[in-house]
Structure 1
């Protein structure tokens, strides 16, 4: 059975920005890693997955606009979800496929929130801040995804928290 967090239809992306507990609850990487331990046969993926850009250079990050920060995170999430979709399509049904489906759903949730988030300034096309590496290790993919969520994405949300008092 595939479980996925479904947001209330009335929830807006700004609620995600303003609620750290909701952000922590949405990060299901620890749960996926626990599930992965029970799926020993899927530790190695059938094809490499390109990894998201997780390095955060504070000085350059601080000089980016909100649109550029969002573009960086969105590009990394899109890169990752495309790789997950390919691996999932090539996988045999079972524990690993269900885990990949949950990962895909979780990434999609983040993408929906980020793309619906209202930001001022000129729209910036999503672009990667690094040359992506790849890995066939699902545990490495999960580690890098967690680094993206708890690093760049969280820093982006912290920069937006000043909007919370006006909501």
Structure 2
């Protein structure tokens, strides 16, 4: 699928979700994000941001550091957490990244950096909105295990951490929630 079509698919999913969250009776829900692998991949704009950064000389060094989200995890420990704890870890990482990007956007930026950081902030915010509104079954401790974070002024490293969060913890949680896809489809 061409990059433009993938981008439109991800944007369409986000628009449907946004509309559904505000309009009663709409059927798009955060679970739709979980159930549609292609839409989830299309929504991941990290490669697009990296390509844009490569075309823009000097955009890799940010004027101030961004605190990198916690993406490191031990798979066996991750598997022992409740769905709520897993979501809490992801939400905490997304909030950390979102806050860092917002703070850097207040700094003087190059012509290249401003649109890159705006797109990154929008992408992080979209994921945060979807993950926050996932309906999770069962009870569980909502505590979040923090790992040491480090600040970085390297936009490449920031994007790498964001990508690792999406392709690691978020994909693992989505895989765990796919059992709800059949149930969600039957309710339509």
- Scaled by the length of structure 2, the TM-score of the pair is 0.82
**Equivalences for 1:80-119 in 2 at 5 Å?**
80-92=97-109, 94-119=111-136
| CA displacement at 1:134 relative to structure 2 | 1.6
- Check whether the contact 2:30–2:134 (CA below 8 A) recurs between aligned residues: yes
- If asked which structure has higher relative contact order (CA below 8 Å, sep 6+), I would say 1
- Structure index of larger Rg: 2
Structure 1: give runs of 5+ residues left out of the alignment: none
Equivalenced residues, count: 164
1:23 to 35, 40, 53: 40
Matched, 1:65 2:56: no
User: Which string of whole-angstrom CA distances, capped at 9 and with x for unpartnered residues, describes residues 32-86 of structure 1?
Assistant: 0000012212210111111111112111111100000000000000001111011
RMSD over equivalenced CA pairs, Å: 1.8
Please report the TM-score for the alignment, with normalisation by the length of structure 1.
Answer: 0.92
For residues 1-167 of structure 1, the aligned pairs below 5 Å read 5=11, 6-8=14-16, 9-10=19-20, 11-92=28-109, 94-120=111-137, 121-122=139-140, 124=142, 127-167=144-184
- 1:128 positional shift: 4.7
